[in-house]
Amino acid sequence: MENSKDMRTWLDDFKLSHPLVIAGPCSAETEDQVLKIAHELKDSDVSIFRAGIWKPRTRPGGFEGVGAIGLKWLQKAKAETGLLMGVEVANATHVKLALEHDIDVLWIGARTTVNPFAVQEIADALQNTDKIVLVKNPVNPDLSLWIGGVERLYNAGIKKLGVIHRGFSTYEKTKYRNIPEWQIAIELQNRFPDLPLICDPSHITGKRDMILEVSQQALDLNYDGLMIETHTDPDHAWSDAAQQVTPKALKQIFEDLRIRKESVDEADYNQKLSRLRIEIDDYDTKLVEILGRRMKISNKIGALKKEKNVAVLQNKRWNEILGKMILEGEEKGLSEEFILKLFKAIHQESIAHQEKVINN
């Protein structure tokens, strides 16, 4: 698959003066709920109404969607509002039912993207379809797997393709539900600059009060659109309540987002600068998280030294670490002065942690 200006045709055909917006509830719950939300989004920047019909849950026992009956509700919502309708599909049966109900946009979820067999089954069922098909990143940070999912659809003759960045799962506790790993989406964007790229801040954050922040980051990186989960009563939603916003809040987000309108040269500069800064922010966050985990290990070392009545400072060990880090830093283009300052600060913080443990 090679990059082509034709990849953007379906998006350009919307003739939008703002980023593409896909919005709607995490799950279709009742016909009234679907229609109410769709009508509240009708006169806004939303072009595509989304609703989960089949909900793959991490563990059994959760709400797994209303099933095919929900497709009829979406048909009615489309007839009444004129919005395009979108659903997630995970297998050929889902595809067949979605096509029978004239769903306009189908997306492949993160849990499905990770399985090439499942993606190929969907691609075969969608052979030469004229529908818009979007691929969410896999749950694990694997760019090749993400691109591979798009390629399977491309090889099936599907022309209206795009990708959705929804973040990546991690066992580590961070401020995100799914860590963005912006550099992975940026690399995909660099390889296929004309493949529409949409951000899903709802799944990245898992918190409604962070939606605006992450949406702005995405637009600063020149993303083409946003997918934001929206519910009239989010606190009582049947799934993912914490990450859904009301239609009113969504419209306020549209007003608060900054879409730059500089000249071409200035826009190109700002987009490149924003990309680089977001990459730096991403690595800085990781550095702080790694240092936090390192100090937890220092606490454990302090507890062990306390148990054995061993002194905190071990000069031989410290000098060995410092010498090793100076050599490794030189290989990475880091000056000896910087490494000395950095690791002296880390060492001092580590000593402080151990002393606190020993003296308590």
Q: Name the nearest CA neighbour of 149 among 126, 179, 183, 182.
A: 126
Q: Which helix (H) or strand (E) holds 252?
A: helix 247-256
pLDDT at 262: 45
Among 50-54, 267-271, 315-319, 352-356, which stretch is predicted with the lowest mean pLDDT? 267-271
| CA distances (Å), origin 328, targets 175, 288, 333, 347 | 31, 20, 9, 17
The model's confidence at residue 58, banded by pLDDT at 50, 70 and 90, is low
- pTM for this prediction: 0.78
pLDDT tens column, 74-103: 999 999 999 999 999 999 999 999 999 999
Higher pLDDT, 220 or 165: 165
Cβ neighbours, 10 Å, residue 109 = 22
Amino acid, single-letter form, for residue 333: G
Among the listed residues 18, 51, 6, the one whose alpha carbon sits nearest the alpha carbon of residue 226: 18
Tell which wins on pLDDT, 270 or 253: 253
pLDDT at 65: 82
Mean pLDDT of the 228-243 span: 95
Residue whose C-alpha is closest to residue 161's, from 122, 111, 200, 105: 105
Q: What is the mean pLDDT of residues 34-59?
A: 91
110 class by beta-carbon count within 10 Å (0-12 exposed, 13-18 middle, 19+ buried): buried
Res. 59: pLDDT tops 70? no
What is the pLDDT confidence band of residue 60, given thresholds at 50, 70 and 90?
confident
Please enumerate, as own/partner, the contacts of 55-63 that have beta carbons within 8 Å and a separation of 24 or more.
55/26, 55/27, 55/239, 56/90, 56/109, 56/111, 56/112, 62/239, 63/27, 63/238, 63/239
| pLDDT of 296 strictly over 50 | yes
Q: What percent of the chain has pLDDT over 90?
A: 75
Average pLDDT over residues 274-296: 90
Beta-bridge partner residues of 161: 133
Cα–Cα separations (whole angstroms), residue 323 to 8, 118, 312, 317, 344: 53, 50, 20, 10, 12
Confidence of residue 203 (pLDDT cuts 50, 70, 90): very high
Looking at residue 160, the DSSP 8-state letter turns out to be S
User: Percent of the chain scored above 70 by pLDDT?
Assistant: 97
| Average pLDDT for 322-345 | 90
321 vs 9, which has greater pLDDT?
9
Mean pLDDT score of the chain, rounded to an integer? 92
What's the rounded Cα separation, in Å, for the pair 109 and 166? 9
pLDDT score recorded for residue 313: 78
Tell whether the model's pLDDT for residue 173 goes beyond 80: no
Cα–Cα distance, 157 to 352 (Å, whole number):
62
- Rounding to the nearest 10 degrees, give the CA dihedral for residues 334, 337, 339, 345: -150
Q: Summarize pLDDT for 214-223 with one digit per residue, the tens.
A: 999 999 999 9
Cα 52–126–194 angle (5° rounding)? Answer: 85
In the predicted structure, residue 18 carries a pLDDT above the cut 60: yes
48-50 vs 20-24, strand pairing mode:
parallel
pLDDT attached to residue 265: 65
Mean pLDDT of 140-168: 97
Query: How would you class 79 by CB atoms within 10 Å of its CB: exposed for 0-12, middle for 13-18, buried for 19 or more?
Result: exposed
- Under 8 Å between Cβ of 349 and 295: yes
pLDDT recorded at residue 201: 98
